[in-house]
Amino acid sequence: MSMLNHHGHRLGSMQTLPAPMRKYADRETVDYCIVGAGSAGGVLAQRLARAGFRIVALEAGPFWDTEKDWVSDERGSHELYWNDLRITGGKDPLALGANNSGKGVGGGSVHWAAFAPRFHPSDFRVYSEDSVGADWPISYWDLKPYYELLEQEIPVAGPAWFPWGDPHGYPYGPHPLGGVGDVLVRGCAKLGLRSVAGGPVAILSASHGDRPHCIYRGFCIQGCKVGAKASTLITHVPDAIDHGAEIRALSMAARISLHDDGRVDGVLYIDRDGNEHFQRARAVIVSGYAIETPRLLLNSACSGHRHGLANSSGTLGQYLMAQAGNVVAGRFDELIRLYKAPPAHALSEEFYETDKRRDFARGFAIQTVGPLPAAFAKQMMNAMGAWGWGLRRVMMDMNHWATIGVLGEILPWEDNRVELAEEKDQYGLRVAKVTFNLHDNDKKLIEFGKKRVMEVMWAAGAEQVVQESRYAHLVGAARMGSDPATSVVDKFGRTHDIPNLFVCDGSILPTQGSANPGLTIQALAARTADYLIKQGDAIFFSNRRDQCEPGIRYDLSPPYTNFKGNPRVA
């Protein structure tokens, strides 16, 4: 074991990377090899390391030094995204890239807007209640203690009273309102809709340990140099390293290796110089995002698993979901200056649940969005068909516009999927092909949602309202379920087919509600970690599948994070 020194490597404006970081030699066998140090992977590594397991997390992207690598600049932030080739198709092809997932330690939590609402209890019972989609193998109440825990750990700022779903409050106070949030709140109030302002967002409204509070500069999606916005890079990875985990950056997992005994024994990966290595592990957890996770499992096909690892059900890659993310833009006489304050800062969930009077199941949320100039120009191109002089003119008016988004639930459909394309990437690995089609329920929901949000915009006093169709937040594609014939993993993320192979990230979600998925993904990761810790060595030697709840551990949080309260109805 050698030691790596990271002196002066900054994580936000006050924190530095703990040094030294443990480094495992190539031939050492670790307990868990985690693929992807993103939203889920970061939390898992931290929990498992604290419990004493030997952990290596392979991360395809770099280990960000926030001061040297990140900028307060849209174009200069291109490298935060997964820019490698993916093919997109279907009747309603999804734009991927910057609209999609991250690459580098922290994964998508580096560029997320940090909206952190919980799912509603109904989200876990969509099939039972609406005869569409699927039920989860767990209920909201199984996840609730983990929501509360993560809301303290990352932590979440928001109103004292969040009235929807299972009503609750937030440990940190709400943020002051920017111009766009003001428009949302005004418009909703005019229409008699409830809204909340200043959260819930995983952005600090007061300093916390070695992280300062938000300075309202609006560059959240470009990575928060301040360290006010939560990313696992600054919330969980430092504690993971303190407890002996190795986060091995610039290491692209190429395939998971299956031993003759039907158990996985390690991960083949490619380093920054193109050299192949093999990391031996007693168990493997894939946390690579809803596209790269199924891609890796498909690319790991071998004899006995011709159609990909853990794919005996044939559902690996299927039931991929995106949320409808239509952006409604309104022009106001007065100045708004939409670039100030975090893009995520006010929302309404009045239309979240199924309403039998409508002709579709499930619903949508209404949320602020805050595009910076290049993103806003693209939105105006799409929403107004602006180009040339027209585009120059409308852009000169940027400070008069406010943007509010629909966040609509799209149901899981078999034909929305991730497969392998013929093309290969720079590592010689077949790239993912994503197919996406809207179905009848989705189209009706989007039409309805779009109209409601446009009404909010008019009600707020806009003199012109336009909208652009887009999608956000991919999840699904390796869903959890109790039936091995129709799902890939069980309720703890363990693949039905291979006892020491797990999936833990957004890909295990059976449905997605109309809440942003990040908090739920991290809460699920903490729950899976509790299960693995409770199981102990049994995971490494036994094929027995224990389905008992592990019980939540309150002693595994990063330092200074578990002394705030979670307001709730007793």
Ligand X SMILES: Cc1cc2nc3c(=O)[nH]c(=O)nc-3n(C[C@H](O)[C@H](O)[C@H](O)COP(=O)(O)OP(=O)(O)OC[C@H]3O[C@@H](n4cnc5c(N)ncnc54)[C@H](O)[C@@H]3O)c2cc1C
Contact residues toward ligand X (CB under 6 A) are: 35-41, 58-61, 99-104, 107-109, 111-115, 221, 252-253, 287-289, 292, 296, 344, 473, 505-506, 516-519, 521
Chain-centroid distance, C-alpha 159: 22
Output the smallest distance, CB 449 to another protein, in A.
Answer: 15
Q: How far is CA 400 from the centre of its chain?
A: 31
Burial class from Cβ neighbours inside 10 Å (0-12, 13-18, 19+) for residue 464 reads middle
Nearest distance from C-beta of residue 9 to ligand SF4, angstroms: 19
Residues facing residue 162 across a β-bridge: 168
Piece of the chain touching another protein by CB under 8 A; list 239-247, 268-276, 372-380, 498-506: 372-380
Answer yes or no whether residue 157 interacts with ligand SF4 by CB under 6 A.
no
**Does residue 452 belong to the site contacting another protein (CB under 8 A)?**
no
Q: Residue 539 has which token pair? A: 């995971």
Q: Which of 209, 262, 304, 385: binder of another protein (CB under 8 A)? A: 385
- Pick out residues in 182-211 that bind ligand SF4 (CB under 6 A): 203
CB atoms near residue 89 (< 10 Å) = 14
With CB under 8 A as the contact rule, the residue among 16, 257, 382, 566 that binds another protein is: 382
Cα dist from 492 to 290, 388, 504, 512, 540, whole Å: 17, 53, 8, 17, 16
Residue from 120, 229, 248, 450 binding ligand SF4 (CB under 6 A): 229
Residue 407: name its binding partner from ligand SF4, another protein, ligand X, none (Cβ under 5 to 8 Å by kind). another protein
Sign, CA torsion 295/297/301/307:
negative
* The entry of ligand X, another protein, ligand SF4, none that residue 229 binds, CB within 5 to 8 Å by partner kind: ligand SF4
Q: Give me 436's structure tokens.
A: 């996406």
Out of 96, 228, 252, 328, name the contact with ligand SF4 by CB under 6 A: 228
Q: Which of 280, 337, 443, 553 binds another protein (CB under 8 A)?
A: 337
Considering CB under 6 A, how many residues would be counted as binding ligand SF4? 13
Pick from 149, 472, 498, 521: which binds another protein (CB under 8 A)? 472
User: Which is nearer to ligand X, 292 or 530 (by Cβ)?
Assistant: 292
Q: Does 72 sit near another protein (CB under 8 A)?
A: yes
The kind and range of the H/E element at 153 are helix 140-153
Q: Find the binding residues for another protein in span 79-98 (CB under 8 A).
A: 81-89, 92-98
Containing 128, the helix (H) or strand (E) segment is: helix 126-130
Q: Is 207 in the site for another protein (CB under 8 A)?
A: no
CB of 82 vs ligand X, minimal distance in Å: 6
Kindly give, in sequence order, each residue whose CB lies less than 8 Å from that of residue 418, ignoring residues fewer than 6 positions away: 290, 291, 294, 295, 298, 317, 320, 432, 433, 434, 477
CA distance linking residue 234 with residue 557, whole number of Å: 13
Contact 230, 237 (CB under 8 A): no
Decide which of ligand SF4, another protein, ligand X, none touches 71; Cβ closer than 5 to 8 Å per partner kind.
another protein
> What DSSP state is assigned to residue 338?
T
Binders of another protein among residues 227 to 286 (CB under 8 A) are none
Beta-bridge mates of residue 324: 408, 471
Q: Which residues pair with 365 in a beta bridge?
A: 407
Kindly list the distances between the CA atom of residue 288 and the CA atoms of 59, 82, 106, in Å, as whole numbers in the listed order.
Answer: 9, 11, 11
Nearest-approach distance from CB 477 to ligand X, in angstroms: 10
Q: Which of 458, 484, 564, 566: binder of another protein (CB under 8 A)?
A: 458
Quick check: 214 binds ligand SF4 (CB under 6 A)? yes
Largest Cα–Cα distance in the chain?
A: 70
DSSP state, 99?
Answer: G
The token pair that represents 446 in the structure block: 């989007």
Describe the crossing of helices 518-535 and 140-153 by its angle, rounded to 10 degrees: 100
* Positions of E strands within 8-52: 10-11, 15-16, 21-23, 30-35
Q: 389 contacts which partner out of ligand X, another protein, ligand SF4, none, CB within 5 to 8 A by kind?
A: another protein
DSSP string spanning 327-342?
EEEEE-SS---TTSS-
CB 372 to another protein: min, Å? 7
- SS3 assignment, position 143: helix
CA 517 to chain centre: 5
Cα–Cα distance between 533 and 537 in angstroms, integer?
9
Segment near another protein (CB under 8 A); pick from 142-150, 348-356, 366-374, 538-546: 366-374
80 touching ligand SF4, by CB under 6 A: no
Q: In 372-439, which ranges are E strands?
A: 401-408, 417-424, 430-435
Q: Which does 250 bind (CB under 5 to 8 A by kind): ligand SF4, another protein, ligand X, none?
A: none
16 binds another protein, rule: CB under 8 A: no
Tell whether residue 424 is a contact of another protein (CB under 8 A). no
Binder to ligand SF4 among 143, 184, 188, 224 (CB under 6 A)?
224
Nearest residue to ligand X, using CB?
38
- Contact set for ligand SF4, span 313-342 (CB under 6 A): 342
CA distance 28 to 49: 16
CB of 116 to ligand X, least distance (A): 6
User: Which SS3 state, helix, strand or coil, does residue 382 take?
Assistant: helix
Please tell me whether residue 230 binds ligand SF4 under the rule CB under 6 A: no
Q: Residue 203 touches which of ligand SF4, ligand X, another protein, none (CB < 5 to 8 A by kind)? A: ligand SF4
- Rank residues 57 and 380 by Cβ distance to ligand X and give the closer one: 57
Q: Which is nearer to ligand SF4, 110 or 504 (CB)?
A: 110
For the window 341-380, what string marks contact with ligand SF4 as x by the rule CB under 6 A? -x--------------------------------------
